[in-house]
Chain A
Amino acid sequence: MAGRYAVGALGLALMGLGASLVWAQSPWDVAVWLVGAIVLHDGLIAPLVLLVGLGGALTRPGVRGPLRAALVTAGCLTAIALPDILRPGPKNNATVLPLDYVRNWLVLLGVVGFGAVLVLAVRRVQAARRRRGL
């Protein structure tokens, strides 16, 4: 119990330290970006994910797992590919962002889709074998 309060108190102290360090920079600009981070996730990303999830929830449990894994993986790959693809302005030099990121992103989405189809196919074959008692 005492340990729990100690961790909580340490947390509050570090939050105070962090806030004072932010205060020494440009607190209002940072506050706008912190609130913006919540709005970006809770107002945009999460509703989009839930919308996609509604579709996935209609599928059978056996299909749902691989489908969800594929969608989550594709979504996360997209999240980390977007900065590569969208970064505006001239690059510092030719060794910064040297690859064809749109191509690589599309290739990866293809690999994820192929992987999901493969898992589903293997499962279907296994289920059929079980039904035939093999």
Chain B
Amino acid sequence: MKSRLPLPPPSALLPSFRGALHDRRTAAAIGRLLGVAMLVCMVTGVLSHYLQHPPSWLANDLPARPTWGYRLNQGLHVGVGIAAIPLLFGKLWTVYPKLFVWPALKGVRHALERLSVAVLVAGAVFELLTGLLNTVQWYPWPFSFVPVHFAVGWLLTGALLLHLAVKWPDIKAYWWQRSAATRALPQEPENAPDRRSLLTGLAVAVGAVTVTTVGQSFTPLKDVDLLAPRHPDHGPLGLPVNRTAAAAGTTRVDTAAWRLTVAGPRPYELTLDELAALPQYEVELPIACVEGWSKNAHWTGVRIKDLTERAGAPGAALRVVSLEQHGAYRVMDMGRTYARDPLTLLALRLNGQVLTPDHGYPARIIAPNRPGVLQTKWVTRLEVR
């Protein structure tokens, strides 16, 4: 006897999605843009990583041109990452019903596919969230940002490539609005205008988040820089700062006691007056921070290659030592390509004024195509390597 009432199947308790646009054409149309954004972030991220921490075999061959190379690279990394936020929201909204498929696991193959999608979703949200919080220097997690953001970047790129391989037939079939597969979707062609309007909405959102933040590195748009964590007009001598003299313990440098020591085949010391009496050059080079902000500035100072030539090692690679007592970038290694470049200066002046303490008084490095953390401030010692 069947006396018990049949229980509803578990699938009946799951949400159902009758709304349009949770379909493969929409997923493919948003997904390809998001995929391009992710690849741009990965390539620029890896480039930035190796410009900042070059392996020893590469350190002397990194290019010093174009002078704006790192600025563009990092502006793209952060800008495209921000632009990817609306795309990721849109893509995940489109495929959200798949979270509730029933049966949840149909077999080993299905389980592996769902696991790879979980890694993809987790990695994508994680990278955009940690990257965005890093730009405002907010670190609520217990791990170190740079190596973990780098590691999860590889995890995410791998999951993305695997996803592309698994979904390749769908990507191909739904690439075009008028493809046979798209036209065979259940609510086509009635859905097409609504889908276009959704994609237009996402494009507006991408434009809005880009325009209101990109001014922190693309200075012509600085007047609409409303939401970026930096603004080109906010900073001493018209240039933002990251590490301050107060943080570095270099607020009061005794100018009379300060010496530049150059160690090499013919070592020597210079006072600030002697340094200022050497031939001075003016260059226009950007400070470009790994966090995405950047700005061009005019720098005046002594060419590094003149200083190494005087030490008997023209154009040699250098180790640069700062006055600061602590800090991950107190000692900076400079490869040959930068050290011999005529634009690389030990700068004494910024935008026509003597450096302020926060900009590295009495002397700082400025070199083309390098991350801001390697533009060492409060320099006291150069060692030919």
* A interface residues (Cβ-Cβ under 8 A, vs B): 4-5, 7-8, 10-19, 21-22, 24-26, 29-30, 33-35, 37-38, 40-42, 45-46, 49-50, 53, 57, 61, 64-65, 68-70, 72-73, 75-77, 79-81, 83-84, 87-89, 91-99, 101, 104-105, 107-108, 112
CB proximity of A32 to chain B, nearest CB, Å:
9
A21 surroundings in chain B (CB, below 8 A) = 147, 150-151, 154-155
A42 close to B96 (CB less than 8 A): yes
- CB of B208 within 8 A of chain A? yes
- How far does the alpha carbon of A97 sit from the alpha carbon of B347 in the complex, in Å? 27
* B interface residues (Cβ-Cβ under 8 A, vs A): 19, 82, 85-86, 89-90, 92-93, 96, 99, 116, 118-119, 121-123, 125-126, 129-130, 132-133, 135-138, 141-144, 147-148, 150-166, 168, 193-194, 197-198, 200-202, 204-206, 208-209, 212-213, 225-227, 229-231, 234-235, 240-244, 247, 358
- How far does the alpha carbon of A70 sit from the alpha carbon of B116 in the complex, in Å? 33
- How far does the alpha carbon of A12 sit from the alpha carbon of B113 in the complex, in Å? 12
Given A29-B141, A92-B242: A8 and B161 within 8 A (CB)? yes
A72 close to B157 (CB less than 8 A): no
B143 surroundings in chain A (CB, below 8 A) = 25-26, 29-30, 33
A38's nearest neighbour on chain B, judged by CB, is B122
Given A18-B151, A18-B152: A11 and B230 within 8 A (CB)? no
- How far does the alpha carbon of A71 sit from the alpha carbon of B166 in the complex, in Å? 33
- How far does the alpha carbon of A42 sit from the alpha carbon of B92 in the complex, in Å? 9
Given A18-B152, A77-B212: A93 and B201 within 8 A (CB)? no
Our pick among B99, B135, B227, B241 for the contact of A104 (Cβ within 8 Å) is: B227
A96 close to B122 (CB less than 8 A): no
Identify 8 new A-B residue pairs, CB closer than 8 A, beyond the known A26-B142, A72-B204.
A15-B155, A33-B141, A69-B205, A70-B201, A80-B227, A95-B235, A99-B226, A108-B226
9 closest residue pairs by CB, A with B:
A18-B155, A14-B158, A11-B161, A69-B201, A15-B158, A8-B165, A11-B162, A21-B151, A65-B197
- How far does the alpha carbon of A96 sit from the alpha carbon of B289 in the complex, in Å? 12
B163 surroundings in chain A (CB, below 8 A) = 11
Given A12-B162, A76-B208: A38 and B125 within 8 A (CB)? yes
A18 surroundings in chain B (CB, below 8 A) = 123, 151-158
A4 close to B122 (CB less than 8 A): no
- How far does the alpha carbon of A60 sit from the alpha carbon of B121 in the complex, in Å? 33
- How far does the alpha carbon of A97 sit from the alpha carbon of B204 in the complex, in Å? 25
A41 surroundings in chain B (CB, below 8 A) = 92, 121, 125
CB proximity of B288 to chain A, nearest CB, Å:
15
A19 surroundings in chain B (CB, below 8 A) = 155
A12 close to B158 (CB less than 8 A): yes
B201 close to A96 (CB less than 8 A): no
B151 close to A77 (CB less than 8 A): no
A37 close to B235 (CB less than 8 A): no
B125 surroundings in chain A (CB, below 8 A) = 37-38, 40-41
B154 close to A25 (CB less than 8 A): no
B208 close to A77 (CB less than 8 A): yes
B358 close to A22 (CB less than 8 A): no
Our pick among A37, A87, A92 for the contact of B122 (Cβ within 8 Å) is: A37
Our pick among A7, A22, A61, A112 for the contact of B151 (Cβ within 8 Å) is: A22
B204 close to A73 (CB less than 8 A): yes
